[in-house]
Amino acid sequence: MQERIIGANLPSGAALAYLGDAWYSLFIRRRLIDAGIEKAGELNAAALSFVTAKKQAERMRRILPLLTEDEADVFRRASNASHPHRPKGATAADYRYATGFEALVGMLCYLKDEERLLYLMEKAHTEEETENDTED
């Protein structure tokens, strides 16, 4: 049986979300460049359409059924943490899910589980969605 990884073995949910936010931003930027977008202004506008709390919450809801027990625990802890500030235009529920999404990404990044991270990101993103998101 695999040893559980949660708890004292990981940084705080806020620290994981911070790391996850940075990793996800780079992931999105790479996808956009790979899609052929090369102008800085277009890249920035397209990237911003992917990293909103609403879009991250949608992606989290898509992959939630795929999570392991440890991944679900990290998501739950981060999404249930106190959130005194939330971005304009985001519902409280979307902001909680987005924070949980970032913490999940951060945990997998911290654990250097790139295979699992990329698997979940591919499940969270579809080719059709990529085309539609850049039009938002």
Catalytic annotation, residues: 21
**Exposed/middle/buried for 65, CB within 10 Å: 0-12, 13-18, 19+?**
exposed
Residue among 83, 68, 58, 62 nearest 133 (CA): 58
Q: How far is residue 22 from each of residues 29, 37, 89, 97, measured CA to CA in Å?
A: 11, 20, 21, 17
Dihedral sign from CA coordinates of 105, 109, 111, 112: positive
Alpha-carbon 76 to chain mean position = 14
